[in-house]
A and B are shown apart, each in its own frame.
Chain A
Amino acid sequence: MSRQTLIVDLDRCIGCHSCTVACLVAHTAPAGIRRIVVHKIGPFGSFPELAMHYLPVMCQHCRKPPCLEACPTGATRKNEDGRVLIDPDDCNGCGDCVEACPFGARYVNPERLVAESCDYCVDLTPEGGQPPCAATCAAGAIRLCDLDEPDPVSSRWLKDAGESRFRLASDGGDIGPRSVYLMKRQPWAGREKISAAFQKTGE
């Protein structure tokens, strides 16, 4: 059993959008759509006592995925390693899952007319390596890691972060988004406000 997930260290992220573009190029995706969107959260507060950070959001491979519930054809499935994947043969491109996703992580590819989202690029990632978004990240902020068997660097990251581990919060109850966000270094007032976008991980 493996639990693949992306760890994103928000203390590192510099908002350069390299992950977004690497992903688009790797998937020769039509322009104008994105599998990873780098949001800017903030700045909150009043100048110069402010807080902000960048937040790359991709498919969260939720424990209870709303997209899966919304899918009328059964094209959206959860596979044995917990990833939420789309079978393009079964997808009719209706877009219900796009509506259902609280994180805006899905889109309907206007060329292929099927829904698509981040699948951790398992096919494009060399054995023991990192997917294109992580490999290209200028800040080294993204890592693909198996939570059940984390590599040494990821374990150190998770350990060092301590309490400062977060998952995305959604209005639709506890759907169990999977990406782990780390954020320790926020010296400015307003951290509480920033953290409102997250829920503490229970792990």
Chain B
Amino acid sequence: MTKPTETTSIPPGSEKQGRPHPGAPASGPPPGNLPLFMQPPEGFVTEGVVGGRCYGCHTQCGLRAHLAGGTVVRVEGEPFFRNMGALCPKGLASVAKLYAPDRLNYPMKRTRPKGEKDPGWVRISWEEALDTIAARLKEIQEKHGARAIASGQGTGRFSVELYARLKNCIGSPNAIHPGHMCRGPMAATTCLTVGHHLRADFDRSACLVFWGRNEPWAHPAFNGPHIIENIMERGARLIVVDPRFEHPLAHKADIFLPVRPGSDGALMLSWIHVILEESLYDEAFLKNHTNGPFLVREDTGDLLLESDLGPSDGKGAFLPFPACIEDRANRPVCMVWDRITQSARPAGAEGVDPQLFGSHTVNGIRCRTALELLRQEASKYPPEKAAEICWTGSAEKIRAAARMFATSSSACLDAGSFGIQGLEGGHTNTFQLLRACLCLDAVTGNINRPGGDCGLPHWRWITGGWKRQGGPRTMTPWGAPDDDLSVKLEGPHPQAPALGEYPLQPGLPSMIGCFNAMKTGKPYPIKAYVKVQGNPLGGWCEDQATVREGLLALDFLVDMDLHLTPTGHLADIVLPAGLGPFERGEHPIIEPLYERWSDERFYIELGKRLAPQWWPWPDEAAYWKWRKDTAGKECGEAAAAGFKIERGMPAPPLNYFEKMDDRTGRAVGFPTPTGKIEIFSQIAHAHHIAPIACYAEPHQSPVGPGDLKTHFPLVLTTGARLPVYYHSEHRSSPYQRALFPHPQFEIHPDTAKTYGIEPGKWAWIETQTGRIRMKACTTPGILPGVVSMAHGWWQGCPSLALPGYGWDGANANLLCESDVHDPDLGVPGVRSQLCRVYPADTEPSVWEAPFYGNGIPEDCGGQQWETVKPSSEEER
């Protein structure tokens, strides 16, 4: 099946507008329909409405803050931004968080040894804190080298460039953050396959697929309005592939396809099988824009090159990375099987009509096309078999879903996961799973098509390690190398490799390897860790016992955060962070309360003490101006290159890959080694990794080898999203905690009965790595045999008298093993492990070292949040 080849940006006005969002004020738009945050007032105002961008999660919706007497009294969504007046509980309740009594307000240092229950916090000045930090870091650098100092973050709102700059300016390659189980894997795989990032065009797609991805709860206000508008007003079809029917879109879906966590790769290959067998693929797209028809040698497994068949003009083999991408003029010529002449001819040569499938012998060399290899791999998973492997139940439903996906005029899988949350972050077979996902997009022609997964081609290779290997640099949409924006923003990338990095994720250290290095000094010691807003102990890292031992063994730990976290409890110095957008950002809404600082101000002041040449800004305002000039220029160039702005967000120029390159006389194609979307991944092949998408059971599998499954018969998936929390954040906010008060795991009633679990009662969940207690939530809306839970229950909510459970009480990451990761990307198996459950007689231990702020709440002039018990303890 061939779709229309029109791939240009859709013309203005053709996007069918749904009804105006109710958030749009009836009194008419402000001048130019600009969001209020683009019209900041001069200095601080005390009355009226001021705009800002929400810091409740990663997406940064627009918000409006109502001020009275210098106090923020309430916030609402910005009508003239992507969130269209909507705002989710995380943003709405941020006003309570601004004035919450349990915030950190002053810098403090510990006076008792680590590990003691009371650290003996003593308030210090920022000056003393910064001087101490700089002195200790210099001392450690002299003694152990720069690599012994790590910097890091959690979800990095939005000082990501600066934590990288801090480690870069002293020459350390090690940044410790959750990138290995978050966006990193998706970023790397998408860049390998397509050459740049992708994001789903939820707004226009004719078929929305949510595969293991709870977007409406992860980012309700940012994408929710557009998803619902598309389904309800434009009739987009909806497929939900998830182990949970409790997914907020599953009950609205045209097809709900259950899947066992970790077996997703087999199901994707099954979809590909159906699409190829039933000829539902986009033939023109595959021929023109993918390397699917390229011939692959059976003897060596390499792509067949023109030079294999006789003398050629010196373009003998693929150049080393990154020249293989950037040096288009010296790319080797790959061969395809021409249907017209029935012979091997150079890909892209005049009049060639490449054969998509089949085996051919060229000069005695047996070859198959890359698509033929994919077809053979996919044919191992016919729907009947996939239904069995993936616990999907119905083969017919798999066929129906694959057909719906392939026959819709456009469809998106969010394969690039621009919005971050998805499948990528937690299987030991992640790389090939993501490759299958991207191939699914490629065979249906849904890459860079309106309504498909669309790219921002100048956002490339974000992980520093790829740059260290010589590039590739940020490119213009035409593919011409440009100055590297990220080097400007992040400083010089160190030449040394990060600790224990994985082959396709260079620049990103093995996170658990870093904590091990703190603990054991091997392969080399990490002695200091400067962390701004992130909580590895209780928040994000696998194998929490090792994390704790590592943090305890550190010579020096600095923790800057909104609250005192279990990580902060082990710190030498804790620093109070400002809450955006009220106390930080380019235009803070109010002056920071107490001695809270913005992340940026801290980094700049510390950086000046360490390597002043890389921190040239006299103050934060100068930094913001520079930041705007530097990045703003790039955006301006992008706009000139055809990017248009839709509701405050840049829309990609979809057809950039069809532009002609003056030097080669051919279309520029995709920034990959073959210039095409890579069904056969040349970079993976060069790393001796399977170049064609395939499936292997996750390391802990209920059908795999070994006897683990007899002791741990259930499949555990952690990291479920709740609409009011963002990872481990917001549990102390009463408005949010009242809605989801207790750590819970979901389990099917039949499964619960088998193991004696009663609804609403505490139960143990145990893996071979550890065990925790959570309350059982029995629901028929989850695949029998699967246990699902949210993470991040460390924090208490004093005003509701609800406890926090610290790092060892109800922490899902205690269950996650660290012995086996995805071999290519270093992803831990947090979303697909094996567990068992049994009733618990007692509740989990409550965090015994709580710290409820060091301010005097009356001072701050804000709304007082009363201590009231919930009127009825309502279970979700």
Contact = CB atoms under 8 A, between A and B. Distances in A.
A11 B89 CA distance: 20
Given A22-B76, A51-B251, A140-B19, A28 B217 contact: no
Interface string A137-150: 11111110000000
Contact of B76 (A28, A136, A138, A140): A136
Contacts of B74: 25-26, 28
Given A47-B245, A135-B85, A128 B92 contact: no
Contacts of B216: 14, 16, 138-139
A89 interface: no
A25 B75 contact: yes
A50 B245 contact: yes
B734 A16 contact: no
B217 A153 contact: no
B88 interface: yes
A187 B254 contact: yes
B225 A50 contact: no
Interface in A93-133: 107, 110-111, 126-130, 132
Nearest to A45: B780
A45 B723 CA distance: 25
Interface in B240-299: 245-246, 248-254, 256, 258
B86 interface: yes
Contact of A127 (B27, B253, B738): B27
Interface of A: 9, 11-12, 14-18, 20-22, 24-26, 28, 30-34, 37, 40, 42-48, 50-54, 107, 110-111, 126-130, 132, 134-143, 153, 156, 185-188
A9 B228 CA distance: 11
Given A18-B92, A21-B89, A143 B224 contact: no
The dominant DSSP class at the B interface is loop
Interface string B738-758: 110000000010000000000
B735 interface: yes
B723 A17 contact: yes
Interface in B214-229: 216-217, 220-221, 224-225, 228-229
Given A43-B246, A188-B251, A136 B86 contact: yes
A135 B865 contact: no
Interface of B: 19-23, 25-27, 73-77, 83, 85-89, 92-93, 95-96, 216-217, 220-221, 224-225, 228-229, 232, 245-246, 248-254, 256, 258, 393, 723-724, 734-739, 748, 779-784, 799-800, 863, 865-866, 868-871, 874, 876
Given A128-B27, A135-B85, 18 more contacts: A11-B232, A17-B89, A18-B87, A18-B88, A21-B724, A24-B735, A25-B92, A25-B95, A25-B96, A31-B799, A43-B246, A47-B784, A48-B256, A48-B783, A136-B221, A138-B225, A140-B19, A141-B228
Contacts of B784: 47
Contacts of B27: 126-129
Contacts of A9: 232
A140 B782 contact: no
Contacts of B26: 126-129
Contacts of B866: 30-31, 110-111
Nearest to A39: B874
20 contacts: A12-B232, A16-B224, A18-B86, A18-B221, A18-B723, A32-B868, A33-B870, A107-B871, A111-B866, A127-B27, A129-B22, A130-B23, A135-B23, A135-B85, A136-B23, A136-B88, A138-B83, A139-B225, A139-B228, A143-B22
B873 to A, nearest CB: 10
A107 B868 CA distance: 13
A46 to B, nearest CB: 6
Contacts of A18: 86-89, 92, 220-221, 723
Contacts of B871: 32-33, 107
B87 A136 contact: yes
Nearest to A107: B871
Contacts of A28: 73-74, 863
Contacts of B781: 42-43, 47, 50, 52
B25 A47 contact: no
Contact of A136 (B85, B724, B735): B85
Given A129-B26, A132-B76, A138-B216, A14 B228 contact: yes
A126 B25 contact: yes
Given A25-B96, A31-B735, A43 B258 contact: no
B868 A30 contact: yes
B22 A31 contact: no
A54 B739 CA distance: 14
Contacts of A25: 74-75, 92-93, 95-96, 735
A31 B738 contact: yes
A22 to B, nearest CB: 5
A11 B22 CA distance: 17
B779 A153 contact: no
A123 to B, nearest CB: 13
Given A18-B92, A186-B251, A31 B868 contact: yes
B556 to A, nearest CB: 38
A135 B724 contact: no
B22 A135 contact: yes
A48 B224 CA distance: 24
Contacts of A187: 253-254
A191 to B, nearest CB: 10
Residue among A52, A107, A143 with the highest chain B CB neighbour number at 10 A: A52
Nearest to B245: A50
B181 to A, nearest CB: 24
A48 B396 CA distance: 14
A135 B76 contact: yes
B89 A137 contact: no
Residue among A37, A45, A47 with the highest chain B CB neighbour number at 10 A: A47
Contacts of B724: 17, 21
A11 B866 CA distance: 36
Given A48-B258, A129-B26, A140 B21 contact: yes
Contacts of B248: 14-16, 54
Contacts of A24: 93, 735
Contacts of B232: 9, 11-12
Contacts of B736: 21
Contacts of A48: 245, 256, 258, 393, 783
A127 B251 CA distance: 36
Contacts of A156: 19
Nearest to B733: A31
Contacts of A46: 780
Given A16-B248, A43-B251, A31 B865 contact: yes
A26 B779 CA distance: 33
A187 B876 CA distance: 24
B868 A16 contact: no
A31 to B, nearest CB: 3
Contacts of A17: 89, 723-724, 739
8 interchain residue pairs of minimum CB distance: A31-B734, A128-B26, A138-B224, A130-B22, A43-B781, A138-B220, A21-B89, A16-B723
B234 to A, nearest CB: 13
A135 B78 CA distance: 10
B732 to A, nearest CB: 11
B739 to A, nearest CB: 5
A156 B20 CA distance: 13
Residue among B19, B20, B73, B870 with the highest chain A CB neighbour number at 10 A: B19
Contacts of A51: 251
B252 A43 contact: no
Contacts of B86: 18, 135-138, 140
A31 B800 contact: yes
A136 B221 CA distance: 8
Residue among B77, B217, B781 with the highest chain A CB neighbour number at 10 A: B781
Contacts of B22: 129-130, 134-135, 137, 140, 142-143
Contacts of B253: 187
Given A21-B92, A126-B26, A129-B26, A12 B87 contact: no
